[in-house]
């Protein structure tokens, strides 16, 4: 069990840490299915992704806006995003194992992710977990690196920022956590993460 003066809470990112980063494969599926160049799709996403990722618009409205920009018909399946996400989902088993081990050792653990509602629905239906809290951008109407989402995680976990460690593969989001007062590590590999945790006294 961690000491009171040490890190007591560990928050994991989902895409790029607990699972392979889904973005490149999702982009490939969307680009191929819609018949548009990936760079054009990325540019459209930049204009319309935030409301969808914050849960402020339904998926159907998101695709209508995207496809209007690209001058192509919108997808007809009920959840294009959800179907593609299920197809490319690949857990990082060593990190899931690490999260379970830390939880069993007495650390509070959480998942914090910028995620769209179809991904959350898939997670809740298919992914058993050991986390004390789940914080998804589409459910909280804010996203990394906004300070509010880190504060919400701390509230849900009843944790202080100086006792909390955040792990993400995106340096921008890592810095956001540091700006919110948390300890933070950039994930590069399971082996490097275990070394970094040991250096912080996380057993």
Here the tokens at position 53 are: 């990722």
pLDDT value of residue 1: 42
Task: Going from the first residue of the chain to its last (203 residues), give the mean pLDDT of each consecutive group of 10, the final group possibly shorter.
Answer: 69 97 96 96 96 97 97 95 95 96 97 97 85 97 98 98 98 98 97 95 87
* Of residues 88, 77, 75, the one with CA closest to residue 33: 75
Here the tokens at position 14 are: 């989902």
pLDDT value of residue 4: 38
Exposure string for 71-99, b = 16+ CB within 10 A, e = fewer = eeebbeeebbbbebbeebbeebeebbebb
Which of helix, strand or coil describes residue 154? helix
Cis omega (within 30 of 0) for bond into 145 = yes
pLDDT value of residue 85: 96
Here the tokens at position 139 are: 């459910």
Q: What whole-number distance in Å separates Cα of residue 61 and Cα of residue 72?
A: 14
For the domain made up of 9-21+91-199, give the CATH fold. Answer: Rossmann fold (3.40.50)
Domains of the chain, by residue range, sit at 9-21+91-199, 23-88
115, 136 Cβ separation under 8 angstroms: yes
The three state secondary structure string of 75-121 is: CCCCCHHHHHHHHHCCECHHHHHHHHHHHHCCCEEEEEECCCHHHHH
pLDDT value of residue 128: 76
pLDDT value of residue 127: 67
For the domain made up of 23-88, give the CATH fold. Answer: DNA polymerase; domain 1 (1.10.150)
Q: Which residue has the tokens 């490097």?
A: 192
Phi, psi (degrees; rounded to nearest 5) at 120:
-65, -40
pLDDT value of residue 36: 97
């Amino acid at each position: 069990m961690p000491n009171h003066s040490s890190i007591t809470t560990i928050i994991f990112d989902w895409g790029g840490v607990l699972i392979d980063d889904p973005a490149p494969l999702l982009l490939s599926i969307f680009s191929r299915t819609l018949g548009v160049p990936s760079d054009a799709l990325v540019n459209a996403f930049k204009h319309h992704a935030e409301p969808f990722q914050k849960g402020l618009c339904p998926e159907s409205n998101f695709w209508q806006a995207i496809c209007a920009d690209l001058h192509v018909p919108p997808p007809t399946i009920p959840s294009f995003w959800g179907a593609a996400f299920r197809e490319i989902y690949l857990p990082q088993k060593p990190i899931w194992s690490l999260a379970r081990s830390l939880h069993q050792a007495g650390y509070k653990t959480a998942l914090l992710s910028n995620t769209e509602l179809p991904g959350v629905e898939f997670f809740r239906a298919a992914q058993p977990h050991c986390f004390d809290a789940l914080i998804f951008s589409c459910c909280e109407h804010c996203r990394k690196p906004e300070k509010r989402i880190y504060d919400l995680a701390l509230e849900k976990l009843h944790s202080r920022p100086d006792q909390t460690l955040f792990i993400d593969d995106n340096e921008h989001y890592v810095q956001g956590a540091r700006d919110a007062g948390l300890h933070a590590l950039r994930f590069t590999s399971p082996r490097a993460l275990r070394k970094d945790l040991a250096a912080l006294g996380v057993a």
